[in-house]
Amino acid sequence: MTSLTSESVESADLAAYCLMLGDDALIMSHRLQEWCARAPEIEEEVALANIALDLLGQARLLLTRAGEAEGAGRDEDRLAFFREAAEFRNVRFTETTGDFAVTMTGLLVFATWRLAVFGGLTRSRDAGLAAVAKKAVKELAYHRDHAAQWVVRLGDGTDVSHRRAQLAWDSALGDAAELLHAHPVELRMAAAGIGVDPATARPELEQVLAQVAAAATLRHRPLPEPPRGGTGRYGEHSAAMPALLGELQSVARAHPEATW
Amino acid sequence: MVTARQAAETVTDPELPVLTLAELGVLRDVRESDGVVVVSITPTYTGCPAIEAMRDDLRARLREEGYPRVEVRTVLDPPWTTDWISAAGREKLRAAGIAPPGAAPRPGTIDLGPIRRAVRCPRCDSADTVELSPFGSTACKALHRCRHCLEPFERVKEI
């Protein structure tokens, strides 16, 4: 039996942790990119593409760091394009797709949660993670504000937009409980002063969502208790994930030797 | 012979070519050791695709000036802020018809009201301007229109 030193346990955990945070950004970015040429107005298309680009930038840094910590020679492209669905560690929440209200509500919840988690990460003992977080929090803050402005406009808009915004809100709130579940890797990283326990994001998430719901005239309820496991963090994804990856990975897999 | 720093300081930004990387605050450090020039740059936005072009432009310029061995490093911390755009850089932006950024926002609570910014038209200096889109042709710019001279213009966003 091989015994692992505490250092190698820590670097395996660091690789797994960076993969989680990187996969969240990659899959969320992909879902936002799907609005290209489909958004309700051209300014919004540019906005969603820009937000998707910020998240893709975060994904690149985090997947690169995951590959380095893993030490098996996998770079960002290898990790993004040549893993199967069950090897991804993003929260299922990022896989959600639907109408414009679903996207904006999802972006609001995601950006608010990630901003709270990354706020803590700016104080990480790992200088690389802290640097990524310090850069990312500025971007996440305006992602959150942009989505919040839209949710208010939709919720406090016409009867039709209000009804669809309420449906999106109820659905997103139910799904958001997953974001507060802490995987054992996240707990160990938090205990080591490197990561953040996502459950600690609850007060900030609750406070911002209640504030936006009130301004948007949406019926609001507190977030349900998080599931005990079986989330995207364990590689258990929604039925939509294989099709999503099929599109995300198709070019790289069709031309595996291509460079760009 | 110009120093490596002087050479690097003449390289312009690929997306805002009126500004040098130094004026933009993206060029963080230039030093030489054992015949290798190490240039440190910081991205404006995490996903900014211009960083690759900056890397190539820096290498090419330094090669022209007689520095064949160049290493370009990307540093993230401290994160770039528009507050680092120099006074000369702000004047050049304005002269090119791009409104320079105001003071960078401090992290705070969410603001759900309409956002009002006092942005002056870079062409006619009127304060009667309206934001058309908070996201513009590149990640770092928003789109505005002047209600006085009726011209559209871009603004470098505060971050």
CB contact under 8 A, A43 and B139: no
Domains of chain B with CATH codes: 4-80 (3.30.300.130), 97-104+117-156 (no CATH)
What pLDDT does residue B65 have? 95
Nearest-by-Cβ selection for A134 from B49, B77, B132: B77
Nearest-by-Cβ selection for A211 from B45, B49, B110: B110
CB contact under 8 A, A54 and B46: yes
Chain A interface includes B132 (CB < 8 A)? yes
What pLDDT does residue A2 have? 43
- Asked whether residue A187 is assigned to any structural domain, the reply reads yes
- Asked whether residue A3 is assigned to any structural domain, the reply reads no
Segments of chain B scoring below 70 in pLDDT: 114-115
Render pLDDT for A118-137 as a digit per residue (tens, 0 to 9). Answer: 999 999 999 999 999 999 99
- Asked whether residue A260 is assigned to any structural domain, the reply reads no
Chain A interface includes B78 (CB < 8 A)? yes
CATH number at residue A118: 1.20.1260.10
What pLDDT does residue A197 have? 98
- Asked whether residue A204 is assigned to any structural domain, the reply reads yes
Chain A interface includes B139 (CB < 8 A)? yes
Q: Which helix (H) or strand (E) holds B55?
A: helix B50-64
Which residue of B40, B48, B76 is the best one to mutate when testing the A interface, meaning the one whose CB has the most A CBs within 10 A? Answer: B76
- Asked whether residue A247 is assigned to any structural domain, the reply reads yes
Chain A interface includes B135 (CB < 8 A)? yes
Which residue of A63, A113, A114, A138 is the best one to mutate when testing the B interface, meaning the one whose CB has the most B CBs within 10 A? Answer: A138
Min distance A58 CA to chain B CA atoms (Å) = 6
Crossing angle for the helix pair A127-155 and A159-176, to the nearest 10 degrees: 150
What pLDDT does residue B48 have? 87
CB contact under 8 A, B139 and A53: yes
- Asked whether residue A81 is assigned to any structural domain, the reply reads yes
- Asked whether residue A62 is assigned to any structural domain, the reply reads yes
What pLDDT does residue A8 have? 67
CB contact under 8 A, A43 and B77: no
Chain A interface includes B111 (CB < 8 A)? yes
DSSP line for A137-196? HHHHHHHHHHHHHHHHHHHTS-HHHHHHHHHHHHHHHHHHGGGGPPPHHHHHHHHTTSS-
pTM confidence score: 0.95
Q: How many CB atoms lie within 10 A of CB A232?
A: 26
Segments of chain A scoring below 70 in pLDDT: 1-9
What pLDDT does residue B105 have? 86
What pLDDT does residue A6 have? 62
- The count of domains in chain A is 1
Which chain A positions have a beta carbon within 8 Å of B103's beta carbon? none
Residue A29 is part of which domain span? 9-254
- Asked whether residue A215 is assigned to any structural domain, the reply reads yes
Which chain A positions have a beta carbon within 8 Å of B143's beta carbon? 43
Please report the ipTM that was assigned to this predicted complex.
Answer: 0.92
What pLDDT does residue A1 have? 39
- Report the distance separating Cα A45 and Cα A53, nearest Å: 12
What pLDDT does residue A10 have? 87
CB A209 within 8 A of CB A172: no
- Report the distance separating Cα A63 and Cα A22, nearest Å: 5
